[in-house]
A = this chain, B = another copy of it.
Amino acid sequence: MKKPKRDIVDSLDFRSTNFENTGKAMYELAKTLFPICRSITGQGFRDSLQILNHTLEGGGNLQIHSIKSGTKVFDWIVPPEWHIKDAYIITPDGEKICDFKKHNLHILNYSESIDKEIELDKLQEHLYSLEEKPDAIPYVTSYYKRRWGFCITHNERKKLKQGKYRVFIDTKHDESGVLNYADFIIPSTQNSKEEILISTYLCHPSIANNEISGPIVTIYLAKWLLNLKERKYNYRFVIVPETIGSIVYIHKHLQHLQKYTKAGFVLSCLGDDNAYSLVHSPSQNTLSDKVALHTLKNKENFKKFSFLDRGSDERQYNAPLVNLGVVGVCRSKYLDYEEYHTSKDDLNFISSKGLMGGLKAMQEIVLNLEINETYKNTIICEPNLGKRGLYHTLSTANDIPLACNFLAYCDGKNDIIDIAEILNMQAYEFKDLLEKILEFKLLQTSNMKT
């Protein structure tokens, strides 16, 4: 089967003239977002949303929402809003270490305040380090149990001497605060009610692949979608703090999501250039599974994960009583790379090329969803394709032309992704051919399968 040579994604449906610089622009955005100290609540999260909104450049506006701390959402309570001013340790020698202002991973995320002098052995109970990755600061959180603590490289920890340490953490858990999240809908150009859900999370502090790459790719996907001439579906973008944020969102929109969601994707860890990963839904057989597997499976270093390997908001979207059939899409998947949840997951771990690959994968998924439809022939027996310029006129060419193979499988049951699988192509690669065939009125849509 010959494959089209040109790079279809680059040539197809792009009007944004500055698109060639997208990879660089995404990486620049990463540099802006990286230093901010985010958590599931608080100013860092809000600031980051504003930067993302600004990146949309007037193409649309993120709707930024808030919900009060203490609100009950299903089995959960929205936690207090967390504020941090400063955090550090003064060693017996007077050295300032674990300085939050130098690296915001030093603070146990969501830590409570402390200000006292303690002995080293008492301090040890509040230190987190990784013996097997001795020069990395781990990323640790304690959202649902109140603790204080610091994260430190194991090498530095080993050097600590006996003596009195001053520990200082200036944080606040504001019970009358809020939790923020945002959404943004790009409407169908065909008045459809059906939606594609794109969800990502923004609550991690200075970690690059996990997780500023997800929101960055999400925003650039939205920018690209805004420029498409035609959109069969509505696209619902959701940016939340992980877990509690998606629970809040589902709590508010459950009925609507269940009624209109055609497919859904949780975008995470999309900035490195080492792999493409798919986290399946529990049943593995939703449209989301089908289109994502179809799109990603032939990519270099593709890895397929079961729902057992889940770890992000697909947990909530796929909970049995929610059941949206959502999949996770990553490059190197969380928990599956060495640098995960440490200071090593930094701006060097991701790249312009990695982010561009993540964006392109999502664009291909969108194009495959948009073209996917179930058609049925209008003509009994094979149509005479020769007279329409779609078949060779001499018998010396023995192969059956693509148009003929494509039509042979348009039986009202196979959708275009099914046919693309049979013909070893990507569904969106049929775009030009399908337009010609529809012009010739050789196919009609069939509503037997969607």
Contact = CB atoms under 8 A, between A and B. Distances in A.
B320 A387 contact: no
Contacts of A75: 379, 381-384
A307 interface: yes
Interface stretch (A112-120, A134-142, A152-160, A222-230): A134-142
Given A141-B395, A142-B393, A381 B247 contact: yes
A201 to B, nearest CB: 14
A256 to B, nearest CB: 14
Contact of A282 (B128, B143, B246, B411): B411
A411 B247 contact: no
B408 A307 contact: yes
Contacts of A409: 282, 320
A396 interface: yes
A282 B408 contact: yes
A408 B319 contact: yes
Interface in A338-392: 341, 376-377, 379-384, 386-387
Interface in A400-429: 400, 405, 407-412, 422-423
A407 B400 CA distance: 47
Contacts of A147: 394
A36 interface: no
A311 B400 contact: yes
Nearest to A128: B396
Nearest to A250: B381
A307 B409 CA distance: 10
A421 to B, nearest CB: 12
B321 A380 contact: yes
B410 A380 contact: no
A434 interface: no
Interface of A: 74-76, 128, 138-145, 147, 243, 246-247, 250-251, 254, 282, 307-308, 310-311, 315-316, 318-323, 335, 341, 376-377, 379-384, 386-387, 393-396, 398, 400, 405, 407-412, 422-423
Closest 7 CB pairs of A and B: A145-B393, A320-B411, A141-B395, A75-B383, A321-B380, A320-B377, A247-B381
A407 B382 CA distance: 45
Contact of A395 (B142, B246, B254, B400): B142
A410 B323 CA distance: 12
A142 to B, nearest CB: 5
B410 A320 contact: yes
A398 B307 contact: no
Given A384-B75, A405-B308, A321 B379 contact: yes
Contacts of A394: 140-142, 145, 147
B145 A384 contact: no
A383 B320 CA distance: 11
11 contacts: A75-B383, A145-B394, A247-B382, A251-B380, A282-B409, A307-B408, A308-B405, A316-B381, A319-B377, A319-B380, A320-B408
A247 to B, nearest CB: 5
A319 B319 CA distance: 43
A411 to B, nearest CB: 4
A380 B144 contact: no
A323 B247 contact: no
A425 to B, nearest CB: 12
A377 B321 CA distance: 7
A176 B85 CA distance: 96
A311 B400 CA distance: 8
Contacts of A412: 320
Nearest to A404: B315
